[in-house]
Structure 1
Amino acid sequence: MNILTLSIKQKYFDEILSGKKDFERREIKPSNVENYVSFIVDGKEYEREEDIPDGDSEVMVKAKSYDKLKLVTGEYKGKRPYLIVEVKDARVEFLYDENGDFIIGMEKGKEYALAYIIFELGNIVETFKDEK
């Protein structure tokens, strides 16, 4: 079982719990890219961008496969409320400018193509809400 744990704001936590929201979207940045995607070059899959051999080959990005998301909310102390929800699908969406070129972001001096991972959510399989 492959589960990814993410922190989430209370508003979105409640929307998922009530069924109003059926997806979770996260920006893919250099600091979190390994959580969300793997890289495919010449038919070989790489977990880390640093492992891709130098060359002129085209690099493809593939959403990592997760069975479930554990979505945690609340203060970073004690036992926090959470949901465990099935992942029906995951996809990567890049952002493009009006010319069809990647929109470029910057994090800690490193440029990257702006992209999001979109998790399509299924059934909620477990919940924990600390009722005080």
Structure 2
Amino acid sequence: MHYLLLAGLLALNPFSPPPRAPFVTVAPAGSVEPCRIYGSVFLETNPARRGFCFATVYLEPEEAFADVLVYREDNKLFADKAGFWYLSPGPNFADYVLFVTENRALADFSITYTGVRSFAGCRKQ
């Protein structure tokens, strides 16, 4: 009986602070720096895996409105500057996993593909 009373008293210790719950925050809009993304990139389209992605992108149809002009590299070693992306075959082999959305308002930044290597990179803001 004494052991039960002692265990209950220790469990309800009024002198210890309550356990802290983890605090999860959502990154504010614009906190992702698109000019720092280069290398191997996997574009995720499955909405169920959105929580595992680094950022959300929108594929802009017009080059004039895109934040980043992306040149698709065939070799991962040449994707060494902003705008040069090697599209990885799977998320496990990518440096960045980006979720592709069809709603521009939900995206962190927008991209469009360019066929000219010298045009690739971030737009000056």
TM-score, normalised with respect to structure 1 = 0.23
Higher strand share: 1
Higher helix share: 2
TM-score, normalised with respect to structure 2 = 0.24
Structure with higher RCO (Cα < 8 A, 6+ apart): 2
